[in-house]
A = this chain, B = another copy of it.
Amino acid sequence: MTNSSKLKLKTPDEAETVFYEAFMHCDDKVMAALWADGDVVCIQPGSRAIVGHQVVVRSWTHIFHNAHPPQITYTVRNRIITDELVISLVIEEVSTDRDQAAQVLATNIYRKFENGWLMIEHHGSLVESYNQNYTIQ
């Protein structure tokens, strides 16, 4: 993956749209072109952190290979905006034909590079109805 094969996206909004389109279509080529190089971070709900472009893209390929394309409706709940970084708090409703819908919270982070905005972090966590298991009850 060279820089020239990255997407050229003018806004963080465009990057976010591309992310969810690629997710729903299980398109790992678009994912690879959306994620920046270097120490980018991806955390799927309940999973360990994955750090680095190559392993992040490989993890999406693995997910897509084993997946039924999900339906995702998403709502941006909050945005933190600076010239270089945009942090999006997104509420995702995720479902497949097989599963009941689940609600996932995502912190999505986009960074401005010379040729546009690319993704540098996706941190997802499942919203549980009751959170009795946390450690400091």
Chain A contacts to B: CB under 8 angstroms = 39, 41, 43-49, 51, 63, 66-70, 77-78, 80, 82-85, 87, 89, 91, 94-96, 98-99, 101-102, 104-105, 107, 109, 111, 120-121, 123-128, 131, 133-137
Q: A94-B136, A137-B67 are in contact. Are A80 and B46 (CB under 8 A)?
A: no
Complex-state Cα separation, A135 to B135, whole angstroms = 25
| Chain B residue at smallest Cβ distance from A112 | B82
CB neighbours (8 Å) of A46 from chain B are 125-128, 131, 133-134
CB-CB under 8 A from A99, the residues of chain B are: 135-137
Judge whether B45 and A137 touch: CB under 8 Å: no
Q: Which residues of B contact A128 (CB under 8 A)?
A: 46-47
Contact between chains at B125 and A45 (CB < 8 Å): yes
Assembly CA distance A48 to B98 (angstroms): 24
Nearest residue (CB) in B for A95 is: B135
